[in-house]
């Protein structure tokens, strides 16, 4: 009887100790789950906020008749563009450039119906060959200082087909309205071409037909002051009716002084980046690459530790809270104590000896 009473007392103490430990462990587990759930909700909120911002950005782009990268999956875009090229080829057509990124520069139309947004992307296709584009830069022809001849046509650009049979003229403003795709200009609704090329001033200048130039081009004789035009980042066209001194400044050597008159080309380099006249300064800014020390950040081997929280949706969060509640409700301490006391030992002789 003493051993039985001692056993019962020992079981009760053990049961109470286990109950206290389980209670603490349960509270700790619930706190950890709540903390994890709170963090996931914060990440979920941030993700939804970022996605909403991206969606608004995409809608704004659609209002401007453009497609946003936020609307298209790159893998699906590449596949769809490949199918488009194959379908167009069957009809003897092809896109201007072999790059799916053309969709982001193409014009779009948007239709909203039954809470569904439909976007129609107009990708330019063409048949035949492309035309060559020539740019006319007015250059004075000096006669006797300070008089010069200037040819100033109404258009500055001339597009010619490969057979030199069709032409199209553009002003700078008209060309700016075209969409530039790499080195190609796509000019929508510019479908009027000229066949009477000999009547076009720019074509006569291109062919250097003196008699036709006199007939078809506006020619003026006037006094020309010193003129400068930048052709490239480091190349300048200079037109001087009188003798003009130009000084080129170079590194680690004396300045170079040159006298120019008429039309000349000034080319600056990294070693000689600056040139001056009495009234002008020409400067070349070379492309400089700065090599900075990169900051190395540790990367998690298991990327799901970063990516997993961002993949949760509201259903996952709800399930997480249900698991917390289920964990708490499943711990019935009264039932645990009752079931422990009902335990009947069959090995009484070994009680107290183990």
pLDDT band at 236 (very low <50, low <70, confident <90, very high): very high
pLDDT digits (tens, 9 = 90+) for 197-232: 999 999 999 999 989 999 999 999 888 889 999 999
Q: What does the pLDDT read at residue 238?
A: 94
Please determine, for residue 30, whether its predicted confidence score (pLDDT) is greater than 60. Answer: yes
CB 273 within 8 A of CB 256: no
Of the listed ranges 156-160, 182-186, 196-200, the one predicted with least confidence: 182-186
Which distant-in-sequence residues (6+ apart) come within 8 Å of 179 by Cβ? 105, 106, 124, 185, 186, 187, 188
Q: Which residue has the higher pLDDT, 186 or 20?
A: 186
3-state secondary structure the chain: CHHHHHHHHHHHHHHHHHHHHHHHHHHHHHHHHHHHHHHHHHHHHHHHHHHHHHHHHHHHHHHCCCCCHHHCCHHHHHHHHHHHHHHHHHCCCEECCCCHHHHHCCEEEEEEECCEEEEEEECCEECCCCCEEEECCCCCEEEECCEEEEECCCCCEEEECCCCCCEEEECHHHHHCCEEECCEEECCCCCCCECCHHHCHHHHHHHCCHHHHHHHCCEEEEECCCEEEECCCCEEEEEEEEEEEEEEECCCCCCEEEEEEEEEEEECCCCCCEEECCCCEEECCCCCCCCCCCCCCCCCCCCHHHHHHHCCCHHHHHHHHHHHHHHHHHCCHHHHHHHHHCCCCCCHHHCCCC
Residue linked to tokens 């999956």: 73
Please determine, for residue 57, whether its predicted confidence score (pLDDT) is greater than 80. Answer: yes
**Number of Cβ atoms within 10 Å of the Cβ of 122:** 12
Q: Which two tokens stand for residue 83?
A: 């199918």
Please determine, for residue 12, whether its predicted confidence score (pLDDT) is greater than 80. Answer: no
Instruction: Tell me the mean pLDDT in the region 79-84.
Output: 88
Measured CA distances, 276 to 161, 265, 283 (Å):
42, 14, 9
**Paired sense of beta strands 147-151 and 219-223, if any:** antiparallel
Domain boundaries, the chain: 3-64+308-349, 74-127, 129-223, 225-294
Give the rounded percent of residues in the chain with a pLDDT score beyond 70.
72
Instruction: Tell me the mean pLDDT in the region 82-106.
Output: 87
Measured CA distances, 34 to 25, 213, 328 (Å):
14, 85, 12
Exposure on the CB side of residue 77, measured as CA atoms within 13 A? 17
Which distant-in-sequence residues (6+ apart) come within 8 Å of 297 by Cβ? none
Q: Long-range contacts: 168-176, Cβ < 8 Å, 24+?
A: 168/131, 168/192, 168/193, 168/194, 169/194, 169/200, 169/202
pLDDT digits (tens, 9 = 90+) for 302-354: 444 433 444 445 566 556 556 655 655 554 545 545 554 554 444 434 434 43
Q: What does the pLDDT read at residue 68?
A: 83
């Amino acid at each position: 009887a003493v051993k039985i009473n001692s056993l019962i007392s020992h079981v009760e103490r053990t049961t109470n100790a286990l109950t206290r430990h389980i209670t603490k462990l349960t509270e700790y587990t619930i706190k950890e789950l709540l903390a994890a759930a709170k963090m996931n909700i914060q990440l979920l909120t941030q993700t939804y906020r970022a996605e909403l911002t991206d969606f608004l950005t995409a809608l704004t782009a659609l209002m401007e008749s453009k497609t946003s990268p936020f609307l298209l999956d790159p893998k699906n875009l590449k596949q769809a563009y490949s199918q488009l090229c194959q379908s167009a080829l069957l009809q003897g057509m092809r896109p201007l450039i072999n790059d799916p990124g053309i969709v982001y520069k193409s014009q779009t139309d948007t239709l909203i119906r039954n809470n569904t947004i439909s976007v129609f992307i107009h990708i330019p296709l063409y048949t035949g060959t492309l035309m060559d584009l020539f740019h006319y830069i007015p250059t004075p022809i000096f006669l006797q200082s300070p008089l010069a001849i200037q040819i100033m046509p109404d258009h500055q650009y001339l597009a010619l087909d490969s057979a030199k049979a069709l032409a199209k003229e553009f002003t700078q403003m008209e060309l700016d309205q075209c969409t530039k795709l790499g080195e190609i200009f796509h000019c929508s609704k510019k479908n009027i071409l000229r066949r009477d090329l000999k009547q076009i001033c720019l074509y006569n200048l291109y062919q250097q037909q003196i008699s036709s130039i006199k007939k078809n081009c506006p020619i003026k004789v006037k006094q020309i002051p010193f003129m400068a035009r930048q052709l490239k980042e480091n190349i300048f066209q200079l037109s001087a009716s009188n003798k003009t001194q130009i000084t080129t400044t170079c590194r680690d050597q004396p300045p170079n002084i040159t006298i120019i008159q008429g039309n000349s080309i000034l080319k600056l380099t990294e070693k000689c980046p600056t040139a001056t006249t009495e009234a002008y300064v020409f400067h070349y800014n070379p492309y400089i690459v700065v090599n900075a020390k990169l900051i190395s950040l540790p990367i998690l081997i298991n990327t799901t530790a970063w990516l997993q929280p961002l993949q949760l949706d509201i259903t996952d969060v709800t399930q997480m809270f249900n698991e917390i509640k289920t964990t708490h409700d499943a711990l019935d301490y009264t039932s645990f104590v009752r079931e422990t006391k009902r335990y009947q030992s069959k090995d009484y002789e070994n009680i107290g000896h183990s």
